[in-house]
Structure 1
Amino acid sequence: MITLVEPSAPLHDAWLASMREFEGAVLHGYSTFGFEVDELAEPAGFERWLERERLQNRRALDGFVPATAWWIVDDAEPGRVLGSIHLRHELNDWLLAEGGHIGYGVRPSARGRGVATAALRLVLDRARAMGIERVLICCEDNAASRATNLGAGGELEDVRVGEDGGRVERYWIDLR
């Protein structure tokens, strides 16, 4: 069973290992904006990131909306971080256009096992409990993300060209 846990020092090394599996690719859903992996590997850098996440959970910081990040773990291997998922409590103009409420990333070695689907369902429950009635999830032209979004009840609203010129698919999930 998949569980979402708050970021913490005991799983710091496991989180770093999950990020390093991406081998420099974009860390969607990891909420590392403004931090490099090498900086996050250092205790002081990790503590700065952790404090930012705690504050971000309660209020907007540094131009970002309030948000919560969780690490995805499997009860069978609670010491291994499988990925990360990020719930933005509200949308600004950019998030409405191409970012959405939720971002997630699953380490390459854990893909294809339903990890993203299970984590997304858990975050949708938390969004509902927060009073969010409709959730926007966006993805690039990615078959696995598309299947996850559709499997969670997402309805495709449109496909747009993003800031970087790539294709952005926008899915709404009604939580009412």
Structure 2
Amino acid sequence: MPALVPPTVVVRPSFLAAMDEYVAEGRGGPDDFSNIGADLRAYAPTWSSPAGFAEFVGFLLAQRREETPRPPGYVPTTVLWWLEAEAYLGRLNIRHRLAPGPAGERNGHIGYDVRPSARRQGHATAMLAAARPVAAALGLSKVLITCDFDNEPSRRTIERNGGVPAARRDEKLRYWLPTT
């Protein structure tokens, strides 16, 4: 049964295969503003070595600490991977608070991504459900989750988990989701 776990070097082969799937669907280019896209641009050249991959995992684990240096506008974030044994199925980020300004309202507290070969199997819905107690443990009684207005699968995922619609902002649908 899949579970949310902190990033680990143990799943490197499966993670690399997942990243190849993302690249095959066009992810990682300069217009991909997702976490997957940013990681592909910044770390893909070093993932081929175990040491480079370990550095990437360390970077992700450090993001949860308040004292970790980060660019302006970024907030502490718990990064979790959705794994089944050593199979990487997806990623979920929980921002400990909304980023300042419009970015926080645009991106919300939780973002998730399922690898292409694992989509349409209920993983996103299960990941988001599993993230609720983690967010509650971070002191968040409710979380803002957003998705593009034309992203029907993500909209259904949020609604299946009890997301309550809030005002739309630009191309983003916004939902508040209780964590308990």
Whether 1:42 aligns to 2:49 is yes
Provide the residue aligned with 2:80 in structure 1. Answer: 70
Number of equivalences? 168
1: CA distance, partners of 2:119 / 2:33: 14
2: CA distance, partners of 1:116 / 1:174: 17
1: CA distance, partners of 2:49 / 2:18: 16
- Distance 1:95-1:2 versus aligned 2 partners, 3 A rule: farther
Residues 55-93 of structure 1: CA deviation (Å, up to 9, x unaligned): 21112532221111111123xxx1211111111111112
Q: TM-score, normalised by structure 1?
A: 0.85
Q: Structure 2: any 5+ residue segments left out of the alignment?
A: none
CA RMSD of aligned residues (A): 2.1
Judge conservation of contact 1:29–1:85 (CA < 8 Å) in 2: no
2: CA distance, partners of 1:120 / 1:88: 13
Q: TM-score, normalised by structure 2?
A: 0.83
Whether 1:89 aligns to 2:96 is yes
Greater helix percent: which structure? 2
Whether 1:8 aligns to 2:18 is no
Aligned-pair CA distance for 1:113? 1.0
Provide the residue aligned with 2:179 in structure 1. Answer: 175
2: CA distance, partners of 1:116 / 1:21: 17
Report which stretch shifted further, 146-155 or 24-33.
24-33
Aligned-pair CA distance for 1:145? 0.2
2: CA distance, partners of 1:8 / 1:40: 13
Provide the residue aligned with 2:20 in structure 1. Answer: 20
Residues 81-126 of structure 1: CA deviation (Å, up to 9, x unaligned): 1111111111112442211111111011111111011111111111
Report which stretch shifted further, 99-108 or 36-45.
36-45
Q: Structure 1: any 5+ residue segments left out of the alignment?
A: 162-166
